[in-house]
């Protein structure tokens, strides 16, 4: 039997939280049955996620950015 494993990192950006997890997945092949077992190595949640990220991007790129759509409308309206 050979020991096999895979370590995976994942980032889940939801509407209210961002979750980060690193887990090792161990594979065992015993006779006719195989088993994959997760072993969490690190996990963390942040209260900065999709809604907050979208709000910040709109603020930086559309409202405050140079040559923004709002700025262009104001220039053409003059």
What secondary structure letter does DSSP report for 13? E
Residues 43 and 53 in one domain: no
Residue 44's contacts (CB-CB under 8 Å, 6 or more residues apart) are: 19, 20, 21
Number of domains making up the chain: 2
Structure tokens at 35: 């088993």
Residues 13 and 37 in one domain: yes
Residue 37 has pLDDT above 80, yes or no: yes
Whole-angstrom distance, CA of residue 16 vs CA of residue 63: 23
Residues 54 and 21 in one domain: no
pLDDT on residue 48? 86
Query: Model-level pTM?
Result: 0.59
Mean pLDDT of all residues in 57-63: 84
Q: Which long-range contacts (CB under 8 A, 24 or more apart) does 53-60 make?
A: 53/13
Mean pLDDT of all residues in 52-56: 88
What secondary structure letter does DSSP report for 44? E
């Amino acid at each position: 039997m050979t020991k096999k494993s895979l370590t995976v990192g994942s980032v889940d950006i939801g509407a209210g939280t961002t979750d980060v997890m690193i887990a090792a997945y161990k594979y065992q092949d015993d006779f006719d049955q195989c088993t994959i077992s997760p072993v969490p190595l690190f996990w963390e949640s942040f209260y900065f996620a999709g809604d907050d990220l979208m709000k910040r991007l709109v603020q930086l790129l559309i409202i405050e950015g140079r040559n923004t759509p709002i700025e262009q409308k104001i220039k053409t309206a003059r």
